[in-house]
Amino acid sequence: MALTKVGSGVIQDDAVGIANLGATGTASSTTFLRGDNAWASAAAGLNSVQTFTATGTWTKPAGITKVIVEVMGAGGGGGGGNVSKGAGGGGGGYSKKFLDVSNTTTATCTIGAAGAGGASNAAGSAGGLSNFVELVGSGGWSDVQGLGGSGGAPTGGNGGAGGAASGGDLQIDGGCGGVPNENNVGGGTFWTPQHYSLSGSPNPPTAGTGYGGGGEGSRGTVGYGGAAGLVGLILVWEYK
């Protein structure tokens, strides 16, 4: 290595070669040398997104250290009619959480099933729980979950309660089914507005859109059933 004298001091006139550093990892145009003498990826920010509409396993991609998880519970089914309209089902709960997954390898993604609509003069079924649970690792974070909405009662009864949310930095419980004068309204969620049929003829009623919404109660009477709720969802936003 060549040296140049400047005044009373001596400075280097070229850089230390990479081969002389003795650092771990691989030097390249996309890595930088960290303070612990290891080469690490210079890429940062959002890298990828995984979407779960059916129960499965989330596996951490290479290089991912942080995630933002969004969990939506399923909606309850609407009640069936008899002497009057059935009540709407409740919407599912929604949780959003930032997680450090440096020490997590996999997680279970459970997706809540939609609650079935009730037959004539029968209550709708409750929607299922959605949650994101560490499977392999030692991250130590709590489960992120949204409970499903309750089913609507038959024949002018109460709307289904909205599902509770837990484990998130942001938690929004589902909306209850039914409102005054239009008791068959399906409960809304973070992703799905309240909804109901404008006509008394649909049987079953028109389904909502999106994820986690409660099913409409029957607008008809004898022989008319309620609509099913909407399925849950999990989104995993993956960051380096």
Reading the chain (240 residues) residue by residue, the pLDDT tens digits are 454 555 555 545 555 666 666 777 777 766 667 677 776 666 578 999 999 999 999 999 999 999 999 999 999 999 998 888 889 999 999 999 999 999 999 999 999 999 999 999 999 999 999 999 999 999 888 999 999 999 999 987 899 999 999 999 999 999 999 875 678 899 999 888 888 776 666 676 877 778 999 999 988 777 889 999 999 999 999 998
d(CA 92, CA 126): 10
Write down the pLDDT at residue 38: 75
d(CA 140, CA 26): 31
End-to-end Cα separation, the chain, in angstroms: 37
Beta bridge partners of 149: none
Write down the pLDDT at residue 219: 80
- The domain limits of the chain are 3-40, 44-240
Write down the pLDDT at residue 49: 98
